[in-house]
Amino acid sequence: MNDRIKNTVAYGGGLICLLLLMSALLPADLCARAGGGGGGGGGGGGILGIVLYPFILIYIGILHFKIYRKNKEAAALIEKAAGADSGWRMESLKQRIEECFFKVQEAWTERNQDLAKDYMSQRLYQKHREETNRMIRDGEKNILKNVELLGAKIVEAIDYTDNSKDLFWVYIRGSMIDYTVTEPEGTVIDGNPDENGKFGELWKFTREDGRWGLDEIDSDVSLEDLDGFRSRSED
C-alpha cells in the first residue's frame, strides 16, 4: 500500500471516528425523544467535549444551513402545488403541524391515542396505541410538561398526481419537561422532572382521506437525512 492510499485510509478512519464522537456529544436540541416521549439524558463532556466543541459547532452550523436550503426548496414546490391543490396552502400546513404537535404530546402523556387519532395516519396511530398500552400494562407513565413548539420548517415536499400519495417532511424544534414515573408509586425511572430540555425531530406527514396526518417520527436528525430530501412533483 503506497503512502497516498495509507494517508487516505487514515484520514477517512479519523473522520469517521470524529463524527461518531460528535454524535455522542451533540447537545440536546439535536437528540430528541421518539413518539413524543423518552426521557432526556445528558450528553458527553469533560476534556474531550471541550476539544471537540468547535467541530460540534461547525456540524450544527452545516446542519441548520441544510435545513434552511431544504426549506426554501420545499416552500417553492408548495407554492406551485397550492395553485392547483388547496391542500398544499402553506398557512394550512403550518396550522396543521402546530395542532398535530400538541395533540401528539397530549395523547402520549395521557396514554390515550384516541386524542390524536385525527392527526395521525392509521399506521402510526396503531403503533402509538400499542406502545402506550404497553406502558399501562407495565405501570409506567411518561409525563410531558411545559410543551412548546419552537419552530417548524418543511424540508421536503412531494406532490403526486394522485393526492393520496402526497407527503412532506418537517423539521420540528421543541422543548418540554420529559420524564417517566412508575404507577402508583410515582417513582421517577427516566428523565428529570426539573429539566426543561430542547430537542429536534423530523416528522413525516402523509395524506389519508384528504387530510394530512403524522406518519413517522425520526428523532435522529442527521446530515444524511437532509441530503436525501428533494422536493419535487411526481406522476
Per DSSP, the residues of 126-159 read HHHHHHHHHHHHHTEEEEEEEEEEEEEEEEEEEE
Count of domains forming the chain? 1
Q: Is residue 19 domain-resident?
A: no
pLDDT above 80 for 34: no
The radius of gyration of the chain from alpha carbons, rounded to an integer in Å, stands at: 20
Q: What is the pTM of this model?
A: 0.81
The one-character DSSP state at 206 is: E
Q: Is residue 21 domain-resident?
A: no
- Note down the domain range covering 203: 27-234
Burial of 28: CB neighbours in 10 Å, binned 0-12, 13-18, 19+ = middle
Angle (CA) 10-12-16 rounded to 5° is 115
Q: Is residue 216 domain-resident?
A: yes
Using an 8 Å Cβ cutoff, are 29 and 198 in contact?
yes
Give 91-116 pLDDT, tens digit per residue.
Answer: 999 999 999 999 999 999 999 999 99
Pick from 185, 130, 174: which is nearest to 152 by CA? 174
Q: Is residue 39 domain-resident?
A: yes
pLDDT of residue 99: 97
Q: Is residue 183 domain-resident?
A: yes
Per DSSP, the residues of 84-102 read T-GGG-HHHHHHHHHHHHH
- Give the full edge-to-edge strand order of the sheet including 167-182: 211-218, 188-208, 167-182, 140-160, 232-234
The count of residues in the chain is 235
Q: Is residue 16 domain-resident?
A: no
Measured distance CA(131)–CA(158) in Å, rounded: 29
Range scoring the smallest mean pLDDT among 6-15, 49-58, 110-119, 178-187: 6-15
Q: Is residue 167 domain-resident?
A: yes
Give 130-187 pLDDT, tens digit per residue.
Answer: 999 999 999 999 999 999 999 999 999 999 999 999 999 999 999 999 999 999 999 9
The one-character DSSP state at 114 is: G
Give the CATH number, domain containing residue 35. 3.10.450.240
Q: Is residue 79 domain-resident?
A: yes
Instruction: Decide: helix, strand or coil at residue 14.
Output: helix
Q: Which is more confident, 39 or 50?
A: 50
For cell 404530546, name the residue: 105
